[in-house]
Amino acid sequence: MTDLIVHPCTHPLVGSVPVPSDKSIAHRAILLGALCNGKSRIRGSALGEDNRSTLAALGAMGVSFTEEVDGSAAGGTSRTPNDGSAAGGTSRTPNDLLVSGVGLFGLRAPTHDLDCGNSGTTMRLLCGVLAPQPFASTLVGDASLTKRPMMRIVSPLRARGARIKGAAHPTKESEITAPLGIEGLPEGTYLEPIAYDSPVASAQVKSALLLSGLYAHGTTTLREPTLSRDHTERMLLALGVPLRTVGTMVELDPAGWNAMMPPFDITLPGDISAAAFLLAAALVVPGSRVSIRAVGTNRTRTGILDVLRDMGAPLAIEPLGDEAGEPLSNLHINSEERPSLVASRIVAAELVPRAIDEIPVICAIAARARGTTTVRDAGELRVKESDRIEATASLLRAFGVTCETLPDGMQIEGREGPLTPVTTDSLGDHRIAMTAAILALVASGPSRIRNADCIATSFPRFVGTMRALGVRIDVE
């Protein structure tokens, strides 16, 4: 178990750095690459633990892959060793991932349970792929994932004929969680068409239904109250799947389609959720000049940038064009130009789905802004790797920031002057651990973050990247 000791910054942060590949896009590229007919190349695939859970599950169903590392190739389903890379170690980083697709109907029955680790995205997207298969499978996860609700995915899949069972949720009536047992469909039967109005904007619900729709006899139509991230739609359209989108509605009609997807070559953009922590570091440490290279700036993911603009952040966005339908940009923060932020925004409504993963670090930024920041309509945060509303609020209070929790969010009072150094636990949540590290940069002394290995879930080189900008972090 790794602890991080983060020291307060005594000088501005300076540098130009990359961030890990976007894990949301990587999940989908790996999964669709497995279902294509031929070998796909995924470039820039420095995969975190969540993505490797998707890779391992597909490997257990007959999909082979090769990781090219520094010009050499390493095949199989091995995982990157936990040698401290999340804490700034020196393990080699894969350049490309080659996925040998087996076609839409080429997956084979696994011989053991499919372990999704800590990855809710892996479990929920695999539900969409496994529900129409002719074989049975079981999806399991770690202690955190086993507490997370799954009915929002299972219910619409059941409505179209999927046979999925789950364990009763320990605290919520009529809710289920992992392990999920998927019986598969009897020979000669298929999933039915569905028109589903989703009560929440959820890319995981949408993606699971669309993936199941690749196998269904009939149309899959889904409407959301607001538009969630649309990586699945963009990728399916690029692969020639008969998909159409209008506003918050998406429709997949496989009539006349040959049910074949060609292999592809894609360079993954940098993860804006990871970039958010570096933007935050540059904003809370006065005088910093930080650039983050080749970040994905899909409009369904850029809520964090809208929040920062509203706060008066000295943010510049340098467009670099598109990659497989996904826009890329360099992001620049120069806090020499405007050293203070104004907390004048209510983060709510349609903005929340576009910034849901970044809300903990938005709250950390708000802690250093003038005035009160209010977050609403973010109740989904209570069922992430931790209850992120309570975890974030507790963290802020420990650092000496005034914070009030709401049923679906919180209110944060900005504070000037050094924060109180803390010893805190990550609760096994990578975003809480990194948020603590950002707040620690402006404390009056060193802070200790226990159980920090979870950072590898999404940002395997977090400590090394922070050190490159001038942050002092010790690893124990």
* 3-state per-residue secondary structure call for 441-464: CCECCCEEEECHHHHHHCCCCHHH
Mapping DSSP to helix (H, G, I), strand (E, B) and coil, where does residue 123 land?
A: helix
357 is catalytic: yes
What torsion, rounded to 10 degrees, do the Cα atoms 196, 202, 205, 209 define? 60
The pair of structure tokens assigned to 233 is: 């739609």
Tally: H helices and E strands in the chain:
12, 25
Q: Give me the phi and psi of 102, to 5 degrees please.
A: -105, 5
Neighbours of 368 (CB within 10 A): 25
Q: Do the beta carbons of residue 62 and residue 38 sit within 8 Å?
A: no
Long-range residue pairs from 157-161, CB within 8 A, at least 24 positions apart, any chain: 157/127, 157/128, 157/131, 157/208, 157/209, 157/212, 159/194, 159/196, 160/191, 160/192, 160/193, 160/194, 160/209, 160/212, 160/216, 160/220, 161/185, 161/189, 161/190, 161/191, 161/192
Instruction: State the Cα–Cα distance between residues 189 and 182, nearest whole angstrom.
Output: 15
Active-site pick, 357, 377, 429, 453 = 357
DSSP code for 89 = -
Neighbours of 255 (CB within 10 A): 8
Q: Identify any residues that bridge with 295 across adjacent strands, giving them in sequence order.
A: 270, 329
The pair of structure tokens assigned to 249 is: 């509605």
Enumerate the active-site residues. 357
